[in-house]
Amino acid sequence: MTGKSEWEGRVGSSWASEWRRTDRAFGELTPRLLADIRQRAGSRVLDIGCGAGELSLAIGRERSAASVHGIDISEALIEAARTRGANMPNASFECTDAATWQPAASAPDLMVSRHGVMFFDDPVAAFRHLANIAAPGASLVFSCFRSRSQCPFFTEIDAIVGASPTPEQPMTYQPGPFGFSDANLVQDILADAGWTEIELVPHDFAMVAGAGPDPVEDALAYFRRIGPAASVMAEASPEERSRIETGIRAFAERHLHGGIVAARAAAWIVKARKQA
């Protein structure tokens, strides 16, 4: 399961080089997340696990008078975000760990994240720290995956590469993409960390893997680099790699509609507030 050290190294570098594909993959989720963020006031915005900066930059465009600061533990991703935001004076980016980050000036009054908060070693401590440095009454809005079993985008690829299915049972936290899939676990983490008015809303979306002139081959390129099969394919023998690629092409052809290869994924939109 992807953890902090991988984001600081190989995974972060891969996502930084493929940020166009990663932004496209979340293309149906991001507008929904932004719609929820618009309902919360905030002029000092912190984007936690900002990646290559898409959410930070979108908020910066909408709130031209606000300051938006994106933080991530991957230097490669931060460099990509800085390049993309070079002409946006109200957006800045910093390579640092949200679990220990301290604001240089005023406390953030709005904290956001698109799938960037499920990798803390100690999530209660991390979210308690974020509450401590937030302004009174600050809002928290983030997205995260629900159960892997509710995401054919992952389960069908798991079957192709031969990964064992994840048992369906109440979770104890493990850092990784599905670390926050259990609603009760997320409620408990945020409540223990001092956040209130906690709400989790399910949202299903089509996660895009392929498009362009040859969407099937584009999907294969996605899964080679950043999808759930990437690490397996990188270490596979030539014969095994060929078998997996054949399976992924079949997956892409099944999920090709209107020139787009996409399969369902399931997210939580999580909202909370720090007491005033």
pLDDT tens string 194-209: 999 999 999 999 999 9
Q: SS3 for 256?
A: strand
The tally of domains found in the chain comes to 1
In the predicted model, what is the mean pLDDT of the chain?
93
Whether residue 164 is predicted with pLDDT greater than 70 in this model: the reply is no
Q: Does residue 77 lie within any of the structural domains?
A: yes
| pLDDT of the residue at 251 | 98
Q: Does residue 229 lie within any of the structural domains?
A: no
pLDDT band at residue 4 using 50, 70 and 90 as cut-offs:
low
The DSSP 8-state label assigned to residue 96 in this structure reads: -
Q: Does residue 118 lie within any of the structural domains?
A: yes
Average pLDDT over residues 7-18: 76
Percent of the chain at pLDDT exceeding 70: 93
What CA–CA distance (Å, rounded) separates 4 from 143? 18
Distances, alpha carbon 212 to alpha carbons 86, 218, 219, 220, in Å: 27, 7, 10, 13
pLDDT band at residue 40 using 50, 70 and 90 as cut-offs:
very high
| pLDDT of the residue at 101 | 98
Whether residue 171 is predicted with pLDDT greater than 80 in this model: the reply is no
**pLDDT 10s digits, 236-246:** 999 999 999 99
What CA–CA distance (Å, rounded) separates 145 from 158? 16
Give the domain extent around 135: 4-148+170-206+267-274
Q: Does residue 249 lie within any of the structural domains?
A: no
Whether residue 176 is predicted with pLDDT greater than 70 in this model: the reply is yes
Report the predicted TM-score, pTM, of the whole model to 2 decimal places.
Answer: 0.94
What CA–CA distance (Å, rounded) separates 97 from 92? 15
Q: Does residue 242 lie within any of the structural domains?
A: no
Question: What stretches of 26-131 adopt beta strand conformation (E)?
Answer: 44-48, 67-72, 91-95, 110-114
Average pLDDT over residues 258-269: 98
Q: Does residue 184 lie within any of the structural domains?
A: yes
Average pLDDT over residues 111-117: 98
Q: Does residue 158 lie within any of the structural domains?
A: no
Q: Does residue 245 lie within any of the structural domains?
A: no
**pLDDT 10s digits, 52-84:** 999 999 999 999 999 999 999 999 999 999 999
| pLDDT of the residue at 257 | 97
Average pLDDT over residues 106-120: 97
| CATH code, domain with 65 | 3.40.50.150
| pLDDT of the residue at 162 | 87
| pLDDT of the residue at 163 | 74
